[in-house]
A and B are shown apart, each in its own frame.
Chain A
C-alpha cells in the first residue's frame, strides 16, 4: 500500500464561465519512505496540490488516500506540513512553536516539552529553544519549522518550497541537513521546489508538472546513490537528470 495515493484528481477554481481549471487528472502513488519532489512552472498548481494533500483545500474531483484512508481535513498525526518562511508564530519561542501542535491536542506539559526538545535536537538546534523567531537566522527558522512538522511523528511530511527564501549557500546546507533528518526518521516526503538542482539532489523521484491546468507530464527516477554528496552535483548523471527535467518544463505548454 502506498503512503500517498492520489487518484484522478482535478480541481477547478470557481469563477466566471464555469471557472478556471487548475489541476487536471492527477494520479500519483508515493511509496512509504520515499522522497518525492514536484517541480513545475510558476502557477502550475503545485502549491494547490500540496494544500489538498494536507487537507487544507478541497479538490473538485478525485480522491487522496493517505495510508489507505482518505484525506479531507488536516490530520497532523498523519501528515505534517512545512511552509515557506513566516509561518513560525513570532509570539512563541522556538520551543513553544515546536510544541504548538501538541498543545492543540492538550498533551501533558512535560511530555510535549520533552518531545519538542528531542525534535530541536534532531534538527541541530540544541540550546536554541528559548529564542524567539526574530532572534533566529532564516535557516534556523526553517529548522524549527521542520521540527514542528515532525513533532507528532506523522508518517508523511509535506514541504512547500521550504528553502525558497534562503540564500544559495544556506539552501544547500539545509538540503543536506534535510536528507540527514530524513534518513534518521524515514518519513515519506513530498517536497515542492523551483530549483532543479535541489530537486535532483534531494529526490528519489521527480514529478514534473505542466503549466495551468497542472498535469503530471513526467516522472523521473533519480538513480544517484545515497547518501548524496555535494560532489555528485558535478557528475554527468546529475547533469543529465537536471537537463531532462529542464527540457520537460521548457516544452510544457
Chain B
C-alpha cells in the first residue's frame, strides 16, 4: 500500500479534528461542559456577536499599543546593545539570565500600580513582547558580516550611509523574525492578563464565562483568540516573505544570518 502524501494527511487530520469537535459532544461521548460542539460554539458566537466584537475592540486596542511600545523600545535597545561591543558583553548575558524568570509573576505588580484597566495589560504585554524584539535586533546587528561594512567603506560610504544602506538592510531578516515573535507574545500577554484580572476584553470573557461554567461561550472566545493569533502569524510571515525576496533561496549567502536559530531566544512560554 502506498502512503498518502503528508500534506493530504495534514488536511485530513484537520478535518478529522473538526468532525471530532462536532460529533463527540453532540453524541455525549464527551460531556458538553468539557467541550461544547463546534456548531454550538459558532452559534453562540453569532448570537452574542456584539458582545464579542466589543471585547475584540478592547483587546485589539491593547495589543496595538503594546506592540508599538514593544517593537519601538525593542528595536532601539537592541540596536544600541547589539551595536556597541562593550555594552553587549555586559548586558546580553544579563538579559538571557533574566529570560528564565516567568514574567507573568510581575503582572500582579502592574495591576497594583496601574489598576485593572487597559494600562496594566499594555504595560505587561509591552514588556512581554519587548524581550524577543530586543534580543533578535541585537543578534541581527551582531551577525552582520564585517565584509559588507568593509566593502561599503572601500566605496566611500559615510557612517550614516553605512547604517542606512548596510546595517539596516542586513539586519532586517532577524529583526522581522523578532517582530513576529514579539507580536505574538504581545497578543499572548494581553490575553493572559485579561484572563487573570480585567473588566473587558476577550480574555476577560473567557474567565467570566468559565466561572459560570458556560462552556460554549468560553470556547467561542477561545476560538476567536486562536483565529487572531494564527492570522497574525500568517500576516507576519507573508510580510517577511515579501520583504525578503533576496533570501528566498535559503541562506546560502555566507553573510546571511545562519546562526539566527541558535542566537534567538526560544519563543517565550505561556
Interface residues, chain A, CB within 8 Å of chain B? 54-56, 74-77, 79-81, 83-87, 89-93, 100-101, 103-105, 132-135, 148
Contacts and interface: CB of A to CB of B under 8 A. Distances in A.
B230 interface: no
B169 A134 contact: no
The residue in B154, B170, B246, B252 that gathers the most chain A C-beta atoms within 10 A of its C-beta is: B154
Contact of B150 (A87, A89, A90): A87
A91 B172 contact: yes
Given A132-B246, A134-B247, A134-B249, A89 B155 contact: no
B255 interface: yes
A89 B156 CA distance: 15
Interface of B: 145, 147-148, 150-158, 161, 165-166, 169-170, 172, 245-250, 252-256
A104 B165 contact: yes
A200 to B, nearest CB: 27
Contacts of A54: 154
A134 B156 contact: no
Nearest to B256: A90
B172 A74 contact: no
A120 B157 CA distance: 22
A143 B155 CA distance: 17
B246 A56 contact: no
A227 B147 CA distance: 33
5 contacts: A87-B150, A90-B255, A100-B165, A104-B158, A148-B155
Contacts of A100: 152, 155, 165
Contact of B155 (A76, A84, A92, A132): A76
B253 A75 contact: no
Contacts of B254: 85-86
